[in-house]
Amino acid sequence: MSVGLIALLDDLAAIARVAAAHLDKVASQATKAGAKAAGVVIDDAAVTPGYVIGFAAERELPIVGRIAAGSLRNKLLILLPVALVLSHILPWTITPLLMIGGVYLCYEGVEKVLEAVMPHRAHQHEAQLGTVALNAKTVEDEKVASAIKTDFILSAEIMAIALAALPAGSFVTQALVLALVGIGITVAVYGAVALIVKADDFGMALAGNDHASVLAGMGRAFGRALVHGMPVFLTILGAVGTAAMIWVGGGIVLHGLEVYGPPSIGSTVHAAAEIAAHAIPSAAGALEWIIEAAISGVLGLLIGAATLPIVEFAVAPAWKGLKSLLPGRQK
C-alpha cells in the first residue's frame, strides 16, 4: 500500500511539473504576444478617456467599468473563438476582416476631426445617422456603445497581432494565451483609463488638505497642478487618440493592400522609409517608423473622408429602411 501511495504521489508530482511548465510557457507566450500589440494597446488607452469627458464625476468610473466589461466580452466571447476558428479553418479571411475594421477606425477618427473643426457639420452628420441623443441616459448609452464598437476593432487588431506572434501549438494553448493577453491588456488599459479620469478628483482632494506641514503644502501644490493640468492633458490625449485611430486604421488597410494589392504599394512605402532612414543613419529606426506611420495616417485620412459621405447618404438610409421593415417598427 505504501509503495502504491508513493508511486501515486510521484505521478501527481510529475503531472504538476508538466502543468507548471505548460503554464509558464503560456505566460511567456502571452507576454511576448502582448508586447507585439503594444502599439494598438497605447491607441486603445488614448482613445477611451475621451468617452467620459462631459459627464458628472460620479458617472466616470461606472462608464469606464461598462466599457471595460464590453471590452472583455469582445475579446473573450467573440474575438477569441472567432480568431481561433478562422485561423484554423479560413485563415485567408482574417486580413479582409481586419481591413474592414481599419476602414471603420478611419471613419471614426475623421468623424472626430470633423466634430472638432466643423461642429455644425458634424451635428448634421450625426442627425442623419439618427444618433443625436435626447437625454442624459441616452447620451451615456450612446457613448458606451460607441466606445465598445471602437474597442471591438482595436481588440480585433490586438488579438490578431497576438495570434500571429504565437508559435505553432495546440488549440488549447493558443486559446489560453489569447485569453491571458485579452484579460491582461483589458485590465492594464482600463485601469490606466480609470486613473486618468479620476486624477482631477485626486488633485482636488490633495488641494483641499488644510494641514500646515511642508509635505501637505507640497501636496496642495501638486493637487492644484493636477486640477488645472488635467483638462489640457485630456484634450491632448483625445487628439492623440483620434490621430491614433486614423493611423492604426490606415496602417491596417495599408498592410492589407500589401497582401492583396499590387506589390508596388508595399515596395514604395518601404522604399520611402528606407530613403529617410539612410539620410540620418543614427536615427534610422525611428525615421523609418515615422515615415511609415505618416503614410498610414494620410491614407487613413483619405479613407475616412471618403467613407463619411458613403455612410451618411448610403449606409445610414439603407439601415433606416431595413429597421423600418422589422416587426414593431413604424415605417
Q: What is the mean pLDDT of residues 286-292?
A: 82
Residue 330 lies in a domain: no
Residue 242 forms part of a structural domain: yes
pTM of the model: 0.71
The grid coordinates listed for 166 are 504565437
Has residue 7 been placed in a domain? no
**Residue 167 within a domain:** yes
Query: Do 91 and 172 contact (CB within 8 A), yes or no?
Result: no
For CA atoms 50, 55, 58, 62, give the dihedral sign. Answer: negative
- Residue pLDDT, tens place only, 158-208: 787 777 766 666 677 778 878 888 888 888 888 888 888 888 788 888 888
Structural domain for 187, as ranges = 15-325
Tell me what percent of the residues of the chain surpass a pLDDT of 90.
Answer: 4
Residue 45 in contact with residue 192, Cβ under 8 Å? yes
Quickly state the pLDDT bin for 124 (edges 50, 70, 90).
low
Does 213 map to a domain?
yes
How long is the chain? 331
User: Of 103, 104, 98, 108, whose CA–CA distance to 47 is shortest?
Assistant: 108
In a domain, 296, yes or no: yes
Q: What's the number of domains the chain is made of?
A: 1
Neighbours of 82 (CB within 10 A): 15
d(CA 144, CA 106): 19
Using an 8 Å Cβ cutoff, are 72 and 182 in contact?
yes
Position 93 in a domain: yes
* Residues 285, 36: Cα–Cα separation, whole Å: 17
SS3 breakdown of the chain: % helix, strand, coil, rounded to 5? 90, 0, 10
Beta carbons within 10 angstroms of residue 325's beta carbon: 8
pLDDT at position 266 over 60: yes
d(CA 32, CA 307): 35
The tens digit of pLDDT for each residue in 35-64 reads 445 555 665 666 677 777 677 778 888 888
Whether 94 is covered by a domain: the verdict is: yes
Using a CB cutoff of 8 Å and minimum separation of 24, what contacts does 31-38 make?
Answer: 32/165, 33/161, 33/162, 33/163, 33/165, 33/166, 33/177, 33/178, 33/181, 34/162, 34/181, 34/184, 34/185, 36/161, 36/162, 36/164, 36/165, 37/157, 37/158, 37/161, 37/162, 37/165, 37/181, 37/185
What pLDDT, on the 0 to 100 scale, is given for residue 109?
Answer: 85
Task: Output DSSP code: residue 73.
Answer: I
- Which grid cell is 152? 471591438
